[in-house]
């Protein structure tokens, strides 16, 4: 029996951390038969689910003790809340996708079954091929507790047609001239908005609510929301003040980015630049314009790269942890990792090459993959997370509401963020 500190999720609890007490692996399933496995995912994409089903069917064919494997899509916006609600209600899945910003909660709480020894012992798994950078976030006491099935770099897509219409150089020309930096991007974005009425740069999925997506900008200033040990708020640091001053000016002074309440879809030709993950490249066919792919622009602190990650963990409250671990070893083996790379960039060093990634991303050129994608995966850092992530995220978001007005006092607002969030850290 064990007592595991669990997660605080929006809408699930208001003040206390949910504590589940029970047998973490309710019963040994070493000899279980007719096992039904369920894995929660946040994608409802039919192509994704069809691929998952094909992998599951192949595994079941080789393991008659497994009766079924079901992939259960949960809405992305409420994913963690729904997952923790299921666990609290005694209906835990056997496996679950884990969001990177909730990784500290899951990894540190005992919510996940250690999987490293099982993966290392699986014939043909080639555990040593997993990237150290990719697995770092998913280790507890030095041992892997979730598999990083997707490590996707944040990149900048560029609409060169809009830049030309506004009389601006292409992004490649800016880069060749040593001017691929945020200030140049903002200047070009402002000109695009003035000349065409279209948007300049867009941080996709930010929408003035998902504040941590702004890490794709503030990392260029060397800023971070809290100290490395998570104990002290750093929103009021000079670096963060400078980064938010840039963002605020872009939204309310230069019109380099859309302001609150305004949306612009790069892939529909509505903006000159967008920061997003390479998996969105499949949307480019809908735009019908001359586009390019570049790394994130440099900031005052220099060049940098950020990756978005997701892990798959075996839930300690699930009914079949051994069977679930066995399936995860199969799902993430070299052959299936290469198959999944079509949508989810792999964590395997041997597969981080133009040949594998070009097959998975036919819209991107080999040059773009070698020059932008592979270096982004190899050098990218993951956005900072924190335990009790849901409550902290809500607090920061509420405190930042005052930032999104034309007359906001940037340093004062950021100090207010620290005043509100420091007690939670």
Banded pLDDT at 109 (limits 50, 70, 90): confident
Within a domain: residue 120? yes
What six digits make up the tokens of 329? Answer: 């070893």
- The pLDDT confidence band at residue 11, using thresholds 50, 70 and 90, is very low
**Number of domains the chain is built from:** 1
User: What is the helix (H) or strand (E) element at residue 271, kind and residue range?
Assistant: strand 271-277
Residue 233, domain member (yes or no) = no
Consecutive H or E run containing 396: helix 389-400
Weakest-pLDDT range from 14-23, 196-205, 347-356, 399-408? 14-23
Neighbouring-strand partners of residue 293: 157
Residue 43 lies in a domain: yes
Confidence of residue 8 (pLDDT cuts 50, 70, 90): very low
In residues, how long is the chain?
Answer: 425
Beta-bridge partner residues of 2: 22
CATH code of the domain containing 12: 3.40.190.10
Asked if residue 137 is part of any domain, the answer here is: yes
Report whether pLDDT(101) > 90: no
Task: Tell whether the model's pLDDT for residue 7 goes beyond 80.
Answer: no
Please give the Cα distance from 338 to 333 (Å, whole number). Answer: 9
Pairwise CA distance, residues 175 & 317, whole Å: 50
Confidence bin at 45 (pLDDT 50/70/90) = confident
Residue 210: inside a domain, yes or no? no
Instruction: Give whole-number Cα distances, 261 to 191, 202, 247, 257, 397, in Å.
Output: 21, 13, 16, 12, 16
Q: Determine the average pLDDT of the residues in 341-356.
A: 86
- Cβ 346 vs Cβ 340: under 8 Å: yes
- The answer on pLDDT for 280 being more than 90 is no
Do residues 25 and 118 make contact, with C-beta atoms less than 8 angstroms apart? no
Tell me, what's the pLDDT at 10?
Answer: 36
Average pLDDT over residues 68-97: 93
Most confidently modeled range among 27-41, 203-217, 370-384: 203-217
- Give the per-residue pLDDT at 32: 63
Secondary structure element (H or E) that encloses residue 104, with its range: helix 103-109
266: exposed, middle or buried (C-beta count within 10 Å: 0-12, 13-18, 19+)? Answer: buried
Inside any domain, residue 418 = no
| SS3 of residue 68 by DSSP | strand
| pLDDT confidence band for 287 (50 / 70 / 90) | low
- Give the whole-angstrom CA distance, residue 109 versus residue 98: 13
**The pLDDT of residue 2:** 30
Above 50 in pLDDT, residue 9?
no
Domain holding 374, by residue range, is 2-152+308-382
CB proximity list for 180: less than 8 A, separation 6 or greater = 171, 174, 294, 295, 297, 298
Tokens of 360: 């998975």
d(CA 35, CA 273): 48
Average per-residue pLDDT in the chain?
89
In a domain, residue 195? The reply is: no
Instruction: Express the helix, strand and coil content of the chain in percent, nearest 5 each.
Output: 45, 20, 35
């Amino acid at each position: 029996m064990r007592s595991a500190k669990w997660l605080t999720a929006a809408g699930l609890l208001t003040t206390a951390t949910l504590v589940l007490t029970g047998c973490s692996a309710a019963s040994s399933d070493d000899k279980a038969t007719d096992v039904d496995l369920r894995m929660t995912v946040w994608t409802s994409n039919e192509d994704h689910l069809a691929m998952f089903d094909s992998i599951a069917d192949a595994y079941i064919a080789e393991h008659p003790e497994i009766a079924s494997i079901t992939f259960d899509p949960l809405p992305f916006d409420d994913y963690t809340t729904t997952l923790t609600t299921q666990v609290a209600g005694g209906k835990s899945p056997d496996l679950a996708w884990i969001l990177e910003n909730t990784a500290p909660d899951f990894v540190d709480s005992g919510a996940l079954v250690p999987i490293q020894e099982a993966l290392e012992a699986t014939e043909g798994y080639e555990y040593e091929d997993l990237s150290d950078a990719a697995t770092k976030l998913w280790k507890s006491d030095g041992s892997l507790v979730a598999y990083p099935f997707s490590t996707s770099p944040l990149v900048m897509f560029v609409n060169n047609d809009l830049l030309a219409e506004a009389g601006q150089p292409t992004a490649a020309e800016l880069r060749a001239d040593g001017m691929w930096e945020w200030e140049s991007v903002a200047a070009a974005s402002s000109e695009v908005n003035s000349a065409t009425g279209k948007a300049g740069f867009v941080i996709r999925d930010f929408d003035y609510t998902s504040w941590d997506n702004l890490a794709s900008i503030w990392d260029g200033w060397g800023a971070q929301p809290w100290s490395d040990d998570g104990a002290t708020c750093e929103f009021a640091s000079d670096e963060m003040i400078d980064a938010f001053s840039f963002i605020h000016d872009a939204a309310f002074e230069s019109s380099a980015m859309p302001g609150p309440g305004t949306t612009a879809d790069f892939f529909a030709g509505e903006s000159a630049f967008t920061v997003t993950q390479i998996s969105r490249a499949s949307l480019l066919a809908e735009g019908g314009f001359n586009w390019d792919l570049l790394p994130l622009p440099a900031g005052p602190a220099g060049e940098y790269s950020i990756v978005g990650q997701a892990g798959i963990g075996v839930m300690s409250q699930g009914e079949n942890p051994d069977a679930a671990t066995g399936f995860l070893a199969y799902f993430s083996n070299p052959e299936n990792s290469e198959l999944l790379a079509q949508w989810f960039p792999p964590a395997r060093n041997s597969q981080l090459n133009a040949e594998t990634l070009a097959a998975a991303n036919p819209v991107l050129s080999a040059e773009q993959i070698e020059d932008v994608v592979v270096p982004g995966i190899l050098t990218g850092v993951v956005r900072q997370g924190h335990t009790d992530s849901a409550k902290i995220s809500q607090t920061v978001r509420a405190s930042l509401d005052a930032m999104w007005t034309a007359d906001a006092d940037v340093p004062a607002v950021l100090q207010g963020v620290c005043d509100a969030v420091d007690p939670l850290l």
